Amino acid sequence: MLTTAGFRDVLELGTESRFDQYDLNLVKPRPLVPRHLRFNVSERLAANGKVLLPLDVDSIKSIAEQLKEYQVESVAICFLHSFVEAEHEELAKEVLQKYLPNIYISLSSQVSPEIREYERFSTTTANAYVQPLIDSYLQRLEKNLTKDGYACPVFMFLSNGGLAEVKLARQFPIRLVESGPAGGAVFASHIARSHEESRILSFDMGGTTAKICLIDDAQSQKANIFEMARVHRFKQGSGLPAKIPVIEMVEIGAGGGSIARVDNLGRITVGPDSAGSEPGPACYGRGGARATVTDADLVLGRLEAEGFADGSMSLDEDAAKQALKNNLADELNMAVPLSAYGVAEIVEEDMANAAREHATENGKSLSDRSLIAFGGAAPLHALTLAAKLGIARVIVPASAGVGSAVGFLLAPVSFETSRSCHVRMSNFNADSVNQLFREMSQNAHDIVSSGAPDQDRKEIRHAQMRYVGQGYNIPVELPLNELDTGDTEKVVAAFNQVYRNLYKKLHDGVDIEIVGLSVAVSTSLSGPGSLEIKKSNDSIQAEIDHRAKLFDHKTGNYLDVNVYQRDALRQGHQIKGPSLIRDKGTTVMLPSGYSLAVADNLSLLIDRH
């Protein structure tokens, strides 16, 4: 990393905040760039972009020699106040490229042109960290697709829920972080729109983690910062910040491969570490000996040993029982099925607690929402999770096992850009705001139109606003037309409405300020029926495929339950719990007290009765 002289330790210092005030042995995340590879550069810009000290070009030449000696592949250039004026960063890049023509260079003025040095430096170094690997992979992907005769354009899915051309992903690979879970949120939004559900809790549970997202009016919540590589289990502030547009969700280390154990207090704990796919859960028969959530689901009867993963493999129930016995049941002096139930209960309670906390932080309720469950493991736990949260309806859509992948196909081509802008409403300067909006809008439209030249596009503008003296800001949507000084009251009224919705009260007499602007441009979304399966007027009863054993924790015994094949279900079919519905990529566990109806798009609508 090249940075303004005196600021190379910003990555180490961070914000100087402690994510746990009472942990005497607190360990902060290590910077991606070690100190000996963070170089001081003689240059300095003022906060308004004025040059206080010209860039020392000779020092860049000297640094280039050291980079060559260290065999550095990628460089982040992060100068002070470059988000206002990028001239020094661009010149430093030009000089470096003369001496190191094959090196990757990320400029903070391009990756994250916003105020706050630590977040900007962290985001840019993360971009530089992954760029050689991602760029090499995407080059090979494009080359091999062309070789195989694919002449169509290639798009990548971004963390904000939109698509972008490969060239953008190669330049800003940091925007791909968390893109997989974001695909799930797009999928859930589409399902919510299809069923005209206005308030949704999206629940995506796979092999390593579970993701929860709040969706209102078919729109998932957005954020402009994300935290990576947390060193403390899901504790905010313990990771490295990336200032990029993302779909806001909470992630819990609870997936099918999450490892269960007994802690020092004699309690069952699950995750965040995972058995992964190799060796995987004990029941995979690949040498894994530690108990996992998948092992527990198999012993409970929620999964069946035969026909797992659409028949591609069989599960070893004896190995699952042995792993639970060795790691949990013997130590806790309880029966193996009961220890399996304990694993499932802990996982579901962890997810419920995370959902409650996430809703509380956003000032929203959960009991008036429907839950959309997808991912390989979510339908196994969705009904018990919903009961803990007081949610009455659960929707399991068609293709639930691969919901995130379907979300990729539903996403629009889009791009979002942000810039810092400091304007107080008591002295509102509409010209500076309009100028920035024009530049950002043109940039975003150019990027989107290059990927989808013939499609209609929509634009949304936001201002990041706060009361003077506050440390955090909130996004306030602004109109697309140019503003003038007479619009001050309208902008303030928009801020007041958002602030009141979040915090229930305003602070009269305190000035309000804009600290940043953002513009999002996207192509129009497909209609809700774009991927729906043809409607069926079948009214026959669902046919039972076979019977299976499902553990009942209340009696400690196994119950005989009906098992249905999902691909045999049609619109109008109804099923009562307890039952299992086997799908190609997942299994739906329907407990007692719930009934299921099949919708016209083959979604399973599950309600308490």
CA–CA gap between residue 78 and residue 111 (Å, rounded): 10
Q: What is the pTM of this model?
A: 0.87
How much is the pLDDT for 528?
46
Cβ atoms of 147 and 190 within 8 Å: the answer is no
How much is the pLDDT for 534?
40
% of the chain at pLDDT higher than 90: 59
| Over residues 571-594, mean pLDDT | 91
* pLDDT level of residue 16 (50, 70, 90 thresholds): confident
CA–CA gap between residue 514 and residue 217 (Å, rounded): 27
Q: What tokens were used for 66?
A: 């050291």
How much is the pLDDT for 531?
38
| Over residues 68-93, mean pLDDT | 95
Q: What is the pLDDT of residues 83-117, one digit of tens each?
A: 999 999 999 999 999 999 999 999 999 999 988 89
Identify which has the larger pLDDT, 3 or 22. 3
| Over residues 122-137, mean pLDDT | 96
Residue 307 above 90 pLDDT?
Answer: no
Residue 323 above 60 pLDDT?
Answer: yes
Cα-Cα-Cα-Cα dihedral sign, residues 171, 173, 176, 177: negative
Q: In what order do the strands lie in the sheet with 557-565?
A: 546-552, 557-565, 579-582, 587-590
| Over residues 521-525, mean pLDDT | 83
How much is the pLDDT for 238?
78
- Kindly give the interhelix angle for 403-410 and 179-194, rounded to the nearest 10 degrees: 80
How much is the pLDDT for 233?
58
* pLDDT level of residue 540 (50, 70, 90 thresholds): low
Write down the mean pLDDT value for the chain: 89
DSSP per-residue codes, 25-36: T--PPPPSS-GG
Q: Which letter does DSSP use for residue 566 in this model?
A: G
CA–CA gap between residue 317 and residue 283 (Å, rounded): 6
Residue type, 581: I
Specify which residues 550 forms β-bridges with.
559
32-41, 93-102, 361-370, 536-545: range with lowest mean pLDDT:
536-545
Q: What is the CA radius of gyration of the chain?
A: 26
* pLDDT level of residue 526 (50, 70, 90 thresholds): low
Residue 333 burial (10 A CB sphere; 0-12, 13-18, 19+): exposed
**Residue found by looking up tokens 């992060």 in the block:** 78
| Over residues 312-326, mean pLDDT | 91
Residue 324 burial (10 A CB sphere; 0-12, 13-18, 19+): buried
Q: What tokens were used for 608?
A: 């308490």
- Supply φ then ψ for residue 399, to 5 degrees: 60, 30
Smallest Cα–Cα separation from 374: which of 215, 554, 551, 140? 215
Q: What is the pLDDT of residues 159-207, one digit of tens each?
A: 999 888 899 999 999 999 888 889 999 999 999 998 999 999 999 998 8
